[in-house]
Amino acid sequence: MLSYAFTEEQEDIRAMVREFAEGEIAPLVEEAEKNETFPVEIMPKLGELGLLGIVFPEEYGGIDAGKITECIFVEEMTKVCAGITASVNAHADLASFPIYKFGNDEQRAKYLPDAIAGQTIGAYAITEPNTGSDAAGLATSAKKSANGYVINGRKNFITNGNICDFCLVAAYTDKEKRGEGISVFIVDRDTPGFEVTRKLEKMGHRSSDTAELVFEDCEVPEESLLGGKEGAFGALMEALITGRVSHGVKSAAIAEAALEQALKYAEEREAFGRSLSKFQALRFKLATMATKVEAAKALAYKAAWLYETGQPCVKEASMAKYFSAEVADEVTRDAVQIHGGYGYITEYPVERMYRDAKLASITEGTSEIQQLIISKEIGL
């Protein structure tokens, strides 16, 4: 039976994450955003607390606490900085989790302990310059060689691409099978032919590292094939589903953080002899914002509960990602409006939150793609 109540252990983890985010992350945000550089020094600290291994078993250094707990972690981190959280989440959710779920014992033993400890950083490379939402339309190929496979192709918008130690790379091993002919390779950063061609400057999420990668005659051993076999489209889709659940919570958290800033500003700012919070127009706007945030969080955590309990959640994951992205865009925009001129300058965090919110409707499947998935799931 679905329950929206968090356990005592989950609330303890929430308190720990909140303390860490406010004490360790918050002081780094301004510099990280200004320099557009992810603070890699936080990774071992997160690893020491077990926060990079929330969904992983203890044998690899995880705490085996489940998807809902991981979403709590994402929520509290995002409220402090969405950009930094994006890089952390890409490492744990997109790069490390597929190795655990679809990799073989040797791959798990080789990569997971250091990844969960924060000693290494992972990336997930599927998107290409000429393919975005059409995952099966990628052009990167991996051809069998005497020593393994030779990868050729270009990847774009890759989170952690510039700082990763290993990267999961999607490439065609059999083009005739379309999606089913896509395989995934675990490629170490120091592999010859693996090159970062440029670091990308972005409108938002500036503290998250994003890069363009090129694989030119990049030869990898057969052991790098995820799970030891060709054909891993299911692994890619699984990573996207769990990622969409996390994104639903992340977008709702951006909106909630903006709402909190707007409430604080409305209480403190005075106009015509009284605080803004006393004006009915603003009270109604804030009430609407708060309602949207709660609805987005409920939808996202329902998807997390379904995922954690092993139930089908393709529809719910897409609903959560789609709706929360729209809410984040609307609520952050209204938060900037409530701040007036101050909302437009970098001194106030709502300016950053407004820019960060835009990515939510683009990354890991646009809002239009989520609507397409939902429409199919409801029988259209």
**Confidence (pLDDT) at 2:** 58
Look at strands 194-199 and 148-159 and give their pairing: unpaired
Which among 56, 54, 46 has a CA at the least distance from the CA of 80? 46
The Cα–Cα gap between 55 and 308 comes to 10
Contacts of 113 (CB under 8 A, 6+ apart): 60, 61
pLDDT band at 132 (very low <50, low <70, confident <90, very high): low
DSSP code of residue 225: B
Residue 192: pLDDT over 80: yes
Which of the residues are catalytic?
364
Confidence at residue 133, expressed as pLDDT on a 0 to 100 scale: 67
Domains and CATH numbers, the chain: 8-121 (1.10.540.10), 123-232 (2.40.110.10), 234-377 (1.20.140.10)
What band does 238 get if pLDDT is binned at 50, 70 and 90?
Answer: confident
Q: What is the pLDDT of residue 231?
A: 86
233: pLDDT strictly greater than 80: no
Residue type, 287: A
Euclidean distance between CA atoms 155 and 124, whole angstroms: 10
Statement: residue 59 has pLDDT above 80: yes
Kindly tell me if the per-residue pLDDT of 4 is higher than 70: no
Residue type, 107: Q
Containing 380, the helix (H) or strand (E) segment is none
Answer yes or no: is pLDDT of 1 > 60: no
Cβ-contact 292, 330 below 8 angstroms: yes
Structure tokens at 5: 């109540």
Handedness of CA 282, 288, 294, 296 (dihedral sign): negative
| pLDDT at res. 314 | 96
d(CA 256, CA 235): 32
For residue 92, which amino acid is it?
Answer: A
What is the tens place of the pLDDT at every residue in 159-189?
999 999 999 999 999 988 877 899 999 999 9
Can you tell me the distance from the alpha carbon of 66 to that of 72, in angstroms, rounded to the nearest whole number?
10
Whole-model pTM: value is 0.95
Q: Give dist(CA 204, CA 210) in Å, integer.
A: 11
Q: How big is the chain by its Cα radius of gyration, in Å? A: 21
Q: Is 171 helix (H, G, I), strand (E, B) or coil?
A: strand
270-317 tens-digit pLDDT: 788 888 888 899 999 999 999 999 999 999 999 999 999 999 999 999
What local confidence, expressed as pLDDT, does residue 274 receive? 85
Does the pLDDT at position 242 exceed 80?
yes
pLDDT at position 273: 83
Predicted confidence at residue 235, as pLDDT, reads 78
Calculate the average pLDDT of the chain.
95
Q: Give me the pLDDT at residue 328, please.
A: 98
CA–CA distance, 135 with 290 (Å, rounded to integer): 35
pLDDT band at 11 (very low <50, low <70, confident <90, very high): very high
The tokens describing 168, both together, are: 């999961």
Provide, rounded to the nearest whole percent, the portion of the chain with pLDDT above 70.
98
